[in-house]
Amino acid sequence: MASSTPLSKANTSFSLELLRKLSEDNSTANIFFSPFSISSALAMVMLGARGDTATQISEVPSSCLKTQDCRDDVHSQFDKLLGELNKPGAPFALSVANRLFGDQSYQFLQEFLTQTRTNYKSELESVDFRTKYEETRNEINSWVEKQTQDISCSTQRRSPTPHPQHKQVYQPT
């Protein structure tokens, strides 16, 4: 069995706390979420954050980023973990994809873009959130469906037949 890293311990705590929070109102509801996707997105935000914002993100109770053992190298640990999850020839099929969608009016620092590319395998897509928000929403959803082999959450909820590489997750309507 693989050894547990500070990042995996922090992500596990984060996952359980998030599940507890999401199920507060209805403890018997089916809940489908990806804590790893959420934690890696928060880590990318923290990568670009400075000052008080970075401190606040890292101090969120049960945050995937709140661990003394890996705070300084949390990004390199995400890089290593993503490499393991996306390893060719692995005995499992798991698609992990990250992407930044930033408004075209904002100038992102090259250092941030380089680090997200290196540590999270994430590229920036410049979009127009201000005036073409519906087109942008469709573009983002299209990208997500393509990255997940055209299996969207809405499809999974309605389909009684599981995709051969995905665990069946649907909620009867």
- The CATH number given to whatever domain includes residue 151 is 3.30.497.10
Instruction: Find the mean pLDDT for residues 76-105.
Output: 85
The mean pLDDT value for 122-151 works out to 89
Looking at the domain assignment, is residue 1 inside a domain? no
* Average pLDDT value for residue range 54-65: 67
Q: Is residue 169 part of a domain?
A: no
Instruction: Over range 22-32, report the average pLDDT.
Output: 84
> Where does the pLDDT of residue 114 fall: very low under 50, low under 70, confident under 90, or very high at 90 and above?
very high
Q: Is residue 168 part of a domain?
A: no
| pLDDT value at 120 more than 80 | yes
pLDDT level of residue 109 (50, 70, 90 thresholds): very high
69 strand-pairing partners: none
Structural domain boundaries enclosing 54? 6-158
* Residue 166 pLDDT grade (very low, low, confident, very high; cuts 50, 70, 90): very low
**What value does the mean pLDDT take over residues 17-23?**
87
Q: What is the mean pLDDT of the chain?
A: 77
pTM of the predicted structure, to 2 decimals: 0.71
Is the per-residue pLDDT at 154 higher than 80?
Answer: no
Q: Identify whether 67 is part of a domain.
A: yes
Residue 171 maps to a domain:
no
**Separation between Cα atoms, residue 4 and residue 120, nearest integer Å:** 20
Any domain includes 52? yes
Among candidate residues 19, 103, 91, the one with its CA nearest the CA of residue 62: 19
147 domain residue, yes or no: yes
Residue 163: inside a domain, yes or no?
A: no
Q: What CA–CA distance (Å, rounded) separates 33 from 149?
A: 18
**Of 16-25, 36-45, 163-172, where does mean pLDDT reach its minimum?**
163-172
Cβ contact 126:102 at 8 Å: yes
Count structural domains, the chain.
Answer: 1
